[in-house]
């Protein structure tokens, strides 16, 4: 695993949160992207080398909607960059982690992504992401 690629924050209202985080960072988001398959709308902010992803549910059955219902708004996941997501999934599986997406799927920001179940990682949802070249 390489560096933290981004931190994902679940929000109820993306438009309001975009304004809030733009005020916080002193800079606007650089992209908005809807991932239909996940039922989410995302926006991305860059702060130096760090990226923050805001996620709003577009579907009441999406995992973001369920997360907010259970825990409220806040940090949702930590994403790590990997060079080879397929190899990393197989390594982590061997280590005994529960992989939610054994086959990586297309995520936001031109990435292949896979999630580790938080029950196997002390309650932290971890995302692996590999750039699609
Ligand atoms: Zn993410």
The distance of Cα 131 from the centroid of its chain, to the nearest Å, equals 14
Per-residue pLDDT tens, the chain, 133 aa: give them. 899 999 999 999 999 999 999 999 999 999 999 988 889 999 999 999 999 999 999 999 999 999 999 999 999 999 999 999 999 999 999 999 999 999 999 888 889 999 999 999 999 999 999 999 8
pLDDT at site 109:
83
The distance of Cα 127 from the centroid of its chain, to the nearest Å, equals 6
What distance in angstroms lies between residue 6's CA and the mean position of ligand 1's atoms? Answer: 6
What distance in angstroms lies between residue 96's CA and the mean position of ligand 1's atoms? Answer: 22
What distance in angstroms lies between residue 40's CA and the mean position of ligand 1's atoms? Answer: 11
What distance in angstroms lies between residue 38's CA and the mean position of ligand 1's atoms? Answer: 11
Long-range contacts of 64-67 (CB under 8 A, 24+ apart): 64/10, 64/38, 64/39, 64/40, 65/39, 67/10
pLDDT at site 96:
96
pLDDT at site 36:
87
């Amino acid at each position: 695993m390489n560096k933290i690629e981004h931190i994902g924050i679940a929000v109820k209202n993306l438009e309001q949160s975009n304004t809030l985080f733009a005020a916080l960072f002193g800079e606007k988001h650089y992209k908005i992207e809807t991932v239909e398959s996940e039922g989410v709308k995302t926006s991305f902010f860059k702060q130096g080398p760090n990226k923050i992803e805001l996620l709003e549910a577009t579907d009441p059955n999406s995992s973001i909607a369920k997360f907010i219902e259970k825990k409220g708004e806040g940090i949702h996941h930590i994403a790590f960059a990997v060079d080879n997501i397929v190899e990393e999934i197989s390594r982590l599986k061997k280590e005994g982690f529960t992989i939610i997406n054994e086959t990586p799927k297309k995520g936001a920001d031109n990435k292949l992504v896979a999630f580790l179940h938080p029950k196997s990682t002390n309650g932290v949802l971890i995302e692996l992401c590999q750039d699609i070249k």
